[in-house]
Chains A and B, each alone.
Chain A
Amino acid sequence: MSQPTSRLNQRQREEVTSQQQGAQNTAALEFAAAEEMLRHDAGQIPVPPAVAERLQKSVASEPAPPKSWWQRLLKG
């Protein structure tokens, strides 16, 4: 008799989880200020990998840049 109960519990758990996920999907986002919304927005947007790939190619075709003050300092 414990198996049907267990199945029922499993189903109930799945339904509850599904409802919770649904609630999260439709919940309103609330932000205290504009910059907080922008911060959230920025967190959703990664840099496209193509930028680094292009940059790598561009840098490879550039002459070496002059050393910065801190590099000169460290290397004497």
Chain B
Amino acid sequence: MSALITETPVEPAPETSSPATAVQRVPLEPPELEAIYEEHSRPIFYLALRMLGDPTQAEDATHDVFLKAYRKLGEFKGNSSIRTWLYRITINHCQNLLQTWHRRNIHGTDDETFWERAVGPGDSPLRVLETKELGQRIQKSLDALPEEYRLLLLLVADEKLSYDEVGALTNQSSDAVRGKLHRARKTFAAAFHQTA
């Protein structure tokens, strides 16, 4: 499988959900945490995965983020959306991890079993390979970007976030987000083509 990025106007993509990729439901207590987890765990895990570049560390980070959220539910004042609040916790958590000596000296593991789990049991080995291969190319391309561009693209990819919210999460105005996004797209496209 090959993947291309063409510079055409972006149409909002419909959210797709197939049985193979649906979030497996595990009941959590209290009920509000369960609802929050069910709605937001997927984008949080994806952000952690692409920021850290390692499935095992992304699993740990997602667990830690929701545990922090549980502990701080009482402090959440509703000034932002829950998702923005969770993203802020995730970004801080992952940035802290990336800055630690431990993280800098531990190479990420390419967890084979993770990629096998990432596609459904009915999917062919070819599909497992395609998903893994595209994921690896995306990770390499993101790793080649300045951190600011990487985070910007990952946040803008979530259609539930407005440019204002992306700006708030990255400490800049929505106009600055728009301006930098153009450069981030170009840099990513160039890096992605180099991974072919």
Contact surface of A with B, Cβ cutoff 8 Å: 25-56, 58-60, 62, 64-70
Contacts and interface: CB of A to CB of B under 8 A. Distances in A.
B46 A42 contact: yes
A38 B2 contact: no
Interface in B112-128: 114, 117-119, 124, 126-127
B42 A29 contact: no
Nearest to B56: A48
Contacts, number: 166
Interface of B: 1-11, 13, 15-17, 21-30, 33, 37, 41-43, 45-46, 49-50, 55, 59, 62-63, 66-67, 70-78, 114, 117-119, 124, 126-127, 130-131, 134-135, 138, 153-154, 156-159, 184-185, 188-189, 192
B10 A33 contact: yes
Given A25-B126, A58-B67, 18 more contacts: A29-B3, A32-B6, A34-B184, A35-B157, A35-B185, A37-B3, A37-B138, A38-B138, A40-B13, A41-B134, A41-B135, A43-B16, A45-B118, A46-B23, A47-B41, A48-B59, A51-B63, A70-B78
A48 B117 contact: yes
Contact of B2 (A28, A66, A68, A69): A28
B16 A51 contact: no
A44 B45 contact: no
Given A52-B26, A56-B29, A66-B74, A44 B126 contact: no
